[in-house]
Structure 1
Amino acid sequence: MILVTGGTGYVGSRLIEKLRQRPEPVRVLVRTPEKAQKLVAGNISIVKGDVTDPESLVAAMKGVSTVIHLVAIIRERSGGISFERMNYQATVNVVDAAKAAGVKRFLHMSALGVVNDPNLPYMDTKFRAQKYVEASGLEWTVFQPSVIFGEGDEFINTLADLVRRPLMIAPAPFVPVVGDGKTKFQPVWRDDVIDAFIKALDDRSTIGQIYQLGGPDALTYEQMLDLIMQKLGKKRSKIYVPVPLMKPAVFMMDKILPKPPVTPAQLTMLSLDNSAPQSATEQLIGHPPLALRDGIDYIKKRNGARHH
């Protein structure tokens, strides 16, 4: 049996759809089963549990042979929803529960560019979580995706929103560019990331490996904006805003908006290289990954068909 954490999230929900096509039973860890009943069908069942509550994981792990751990946050919230608790301690809890239950296989969603640096709390907690998985003694595989795109995504849809609703600075509409716009990304399609996970389920040579996952093209932030403008048929001038100038505004939006366009953690990461020079996507999925250019027609729909 496979246990999936984060199965109701952006990547997890699509992973569950793909796992429906497999023979083995799949159990999805959910905090509120009443809200997740629609997942239950065929080989998919749900179990009540919370990655921040070690006791709740004991029953969830019974009879499980493989764990796919996807839970992480990109935005801290009040009520204890912190990077330390959700990205690091939750991983510790899931790994410890898996070991205690005799689980053998552990697939872990890390992030590209993780680094041991307390000044970058998202990257730091993801780094320490990954190291805990590596030291677990389980048959682990770690994935480090660059920015993930696909219908309903956050990142590309946010950039599309900036293009659709530019700043009006007389006499022309402007799109703000964070920093110099030269930070590199290697956007990878959600289904390609999921297919890499599924490949690892069936291939024991992936045990003990850390895989960077990127698409076929490394693009700068500015190149992605240009591509989105081209797709939307919009011409915009750009205004370059140094990161330090954006910090106060982003901090305020994070405090007062339910879904801010950019979080403080994302702003920091917009100045860090996020390309994947050792991308293993093609090697894992057996064909060239989808390019951003060929996979973002969804932004032409109203609001990029975003869902939460």
Structure 2
Amino acid sequence: MAVGLKKTVVLFGGSGFLGRYVARALAHRGHRIRVACRRPDLAYHLQIAGNMGQILPIQANLRYRWTIDRAVENADHVVNLVGILAENGRQSFDAVQNFGARAVAEAARGVGADLVQMSAIGADANAKSAYARSKAAGEAAVFETIPEASVFRPSIVFGAEDAFFNRFANMARFSPFLPLIGGGTTRYQPIFVGDVAEAVADAVDGKVATGQIYELGGPEVLTFREMMEEMLRVIDRKRRFVTIPYGTASTLARLSRFLPGAPLTEDQVALLKTDNVVSDAAKAEGRTLEAFGCAPRTLEAILPSYLIRFRPQGQFTKPQPQAGGLDAENRDGVA
């Protein structure tokens, strides 16, 4: 733990999955952190990541500008991690990821603070997905307000509390098959949450050029199916894969949209049609994780540390070797 406190950093969305890692990384570097979120009680557990009084949860809501202005008073740096994967009531893509991003940027500019904005690979003003369009609109709003801001676009982020591998590993405990939307051919570049957090902390410390869009991906490019195969290998279970065409998936999502906790939305189906990997332009211009001097960690190195609980006997399961590739039970079924 660093001894001296350096900057006052306001962390919007700090109570979420990525936020807790960013808060920890900033605390270890000696910064004072305000965790701005709608429910401060959900961020109290972060206080033990720093010294006494170093991490302070504070109430803020991106839909109410005065709460944002209050949160950033006397701040040196602002980090906006707020984002949603599905709309819910007033929590719409535009409200959170477009207008919310602009409000945070304007508040940061008002106090002369630097800004890091979290976006996502695939952000595109012309995308078919409303999620991707709102992310692009948020980026544009940020740069229009603070040209020297830093924008991060990670691929799918994994770690102990993720909602991706944990969800499918839990599904594999009960279901005899796992779904592959569109055949599971969409490519991803999964990145460990701790690596993203360290990159954000480096940006706060001024170790990389500002006014850039950084695309963050891990060391491997894998299809959706390959990620599921790796997950099954780690939890030592054999499951069949069932291919669900995009059209069928969209119809199922549309029919289930009024159900509580719907597993998939039409917008997410649209996202699954586009690869989610670092672009060639970002590689050529040095706008990747390598710019931070970080050696990204692999799925093989991290997944066993938290998916072991999904093995048949948990940590006491002795994994069986799988010679000759996939077992017959892991072959495709037909939807």
Instruction: Assess same fold via TM > 0.5.
Output: yes
Q: Does 1:123 align with 2:132?
A: yes
- Which structure 2 residues correspond to residues 45-64 of structure 1 after superposition, within 5 A? 45-64=56-75
Q: CA separation in 2, counterparts of 1:195 and 1:182?
A: 30
Amino acid at match of 2:76: S
Q: Does 1:77 align with 2:92?
A: no
Q: Which residue of 1 aligns with 2:239?
A: 236
2:300 to 283, 289, 293: 293
Residues 268, 165 of structure 1: alpha-carbon distance in 2 compared, 3 angstrom cutoff? farther
Q: CA separation in 1, counterparts of 2:146 and 2:27?
A: 29
- Which structure 2 residues correspond to residues 110-259 of structure 1 after superposition, within 5 A? 110-117=119-126, 119-166=128-175, 173-258=176-261
Q: Which residue of 1 aligns with 2:274?
A: 272
1:179·1:240 contact (CA, 8 Å) conserved in 2? yes
Cα distance, 1:98 vs structure 2: 1.4
Cα distance, 1:24 vs structure 2: 2.8
Counterpart secondary structure, 1:20: helix
1:228-277 Cα distance to aligned partner (Å, 9 max, x none):
1211222222221101101232234442133x333333222122110114
Q: Does 1:95 align with 2:105?
A: yes
Amino acid at match of 1:93: A
Cα distance, 1:116 vs structure 2: 0.8
Q: CA separation in 2, counterparts of 1:112 and 1:118?
A: 12
**5+ residue gaps in structure 1?**
167-172
**5+ residue gaps in structure 2?**
1-7, 315-335
Q: CA separation in 1, counterparts of 2:192 and 2:148?
A: 26
1:55-82 Cα distance to aligned partner (Å, 9 max, x none):
222222211111001001111112x111
1:165-201 Cα distance to aligned partner (Å, 9 max, x none):
33xxxxxx33221102211000000000001111112
Counterpart secondary structure, 2:242: strand
Cα distance, 1:163 vs structure 2: 2.9
How large is the Cα RMSD of the aligned pairs?
2.1
The 10-residue stretch of structure 1 (210-219 or 276-285) with the greater mean CA deviation from structure 2: 276-285
Cα distance, 1:281 vs structure 2: 5.0
Give identity over the alignment, percent: 28
Q: Which residue of 2 aligns with 1:170?
A: none
Cα distance, 1:204 vs structure 2: 5.0
The 10-residue stretch of structure 1 (194-203 or 113-122) with the greater mean CA deviation from structure 2: 113-122
TM-score (normalizing by structure 2): 0.82
Cα distance, 1:19 vs structure 2: 1.9
2:214·2:289 contact (CA, 8 Å) conserved in 1? no
Q: CA separation in 1, counterparts of 2:40 and 2:167?
A: 30
Q: Which residue of 2 aligns with 1:65?
A: 76
Cα distance, 1:206 vs structure 2: 2.1
Cα distance, 1:152 vs structure 2: 1.3
Counterpart secondary structure, 2:273: coil
Residues 302, 160 of structure 1: alpha-carbon distance in 2 compared, 3 angstrom cutoff? closer
The 10-residue stretch of structure 1 (245-254 or 188-197) with the greater mean CA deviation from structure 2: 245-254
1:25 to 32, 44, 50: 32
2:124·2:133 contact (CA, 8 Å) conserved in 1? yes
Q: CA separation in 1, counterparts of 2:208 and 2:293?
A: 15
Q: CA separation in 2, counterparts of 1:253 and 1:126?
A: 25
1:53·1:93 contact (CA, 8 Å) conserved in 2? no
Q: Which residue of 1 aligns with 2:319?
A: none
Q: Which residue of 2 aligns with 1:13?
A: 20
Q: CA separation in 2, counterparts of 1:86 and 1:261?
A: 21
1:70·1:109 contact (CA, 8 Å) conserved in 2? yes
Q: CA separation in 1, counterparts of 2:63 and 2:126?
A: 23
TM-score (normalizing by structure 1): 0.88
Q: Does 1:44 align with 2:51?
A: no
1:177·1:239 contact (CA, 8 Å) conserved in 2? yes
Amino acid at match of 2:55: I
2:208·2:292 contact (CA, 8 Å) conserved in 1? no
The number of residue pairs the alignment matches comes to 295
Q: Which residue of 1 aligns with 2:117?
A: 108
Cα distance, 1:111 vs structure 2: 0.4
